[in-house]
Structure 1
Amino acid sequence: MSANRATCEWCGGEVPESPRGRPRKYCRAACRQRAYEQRARLAGSSISPEAVIMRPEKVRDFHDGLFELRCAAEDIATAADEGASSDDLRVLCDELVSLARKMEKLR
């Protein structure tokens, strides 16, 4: 996916380009429907429409992913402090980027 492509506000997938009109927010009609249902469930409640509601297992996955990201960043810092070669640092940076991409897909 290119850096300037829009992502679905519901699932995070790539949103197809629209040849005309306003830019799309969702990749599929199903995602648009899920977002509508979420807004309808929250209507009249004290929960902010911007709130992120996650299942407990997704919260655990998110927490674990953040821990992995921090560890990968610390590995890079340690390797740099210890004079690691640019090739070794590149491998560690690639792992960090891979972990960050994995975190972006958590929905």
Structure 2
Amino acid sequence: MYCGQACRQRAYEQRAATSKAGLPGDVVLVSRAELDGLQDRLYQLRCALEDVQTLLTEKPTKAELERSLSDLVHSTGRLDRLWVTERTA
């Protein structure tokens, strides 16, 4: 199901382009900079999760827990704004 005719058209164009290039339909191409940015953000999220996990094995103060959870939310929020968009040739 598509949100509208424009989305349906973009999906058709994507399928036609990948088919013409001999690529499987589920291939996604991203630039090195986009991939590096995604990997950086995922690393930040992983570190924030590890910090929370470590803190939970200790007896954290309320302030320590709030700071660690705030860092985690901040890391997640940056990923929340990531959208892969199609580029036209």
- TM-score, length of structure 2 as denominator length: 0.67
In structure 2, do the counterparts of structure 1 residues 103 and 79 end up closer, same or farther at CA, with 3 Å as the change threshold? Answer: same
Cα deviation, residue 61, structure 1: 0.8
Equivalent residue pairs, number: 83
Q: What is the aligned partner in structure 1 of residue 29 from structure 2?
A: 53
Structure with greater Cα Rg: 2
For residues 6-45 of structure 1, what are the structure 2 equivalents within 5 Å? 24-26=1-3, 29=6, 31-45=7-21
Give the whole-Å Cα distance in 1 for the aligned partners of 2:30 and 2:52: 31
Give the whole-Å Cα distance in 2 for the aligned partners of 1:94 and 1:81: 18
Q: Tell me which amino acid in the other structure corresponds to 2:75.
A: L
Cα deviation, residue 37, structure 1: 2.1
SS at match of 2:29: coil
Cα deviation, residue 96, structure 1: 2.0
Q: Tell me which amino acid in the other structure corresponds to 2:39.
A: H
Q: What is the aligned partner in structure 2 of residue 70 from structure 1?
A: 46
Q: Tell me which amino acid in the other structure corresponds to 1:103.
A: L
Of 46, 57, 62, which aligns to 1:81? 57
Sequence identity, in percent? Answer: 31
* Structure 2: gaps (5+ residues): 85-89
- TM-score, length of structure 1 as denominator length: 0.58
In structure 2, do the counterparts of structure 1 residues 100 and 33 end up closer, same or farther at CA, with 3 Å as the change threshold? Answer: farther
Q: Tell me which amino acid in the other structure corresponds to 1:99.
A: S
* Structure 1: gaps (5+ residues): 1-23
Which structure shows the bigger proportion of residues in helix conformation?
A: 2
Cα deviation, residue 67, structure 1: 0.6
Q: Deviations over 1:3-23 (max 9, x none)?
A: xxxxxxxxxxxxxxxxxxxxx
Aligned-CA RMSD value = 2.6
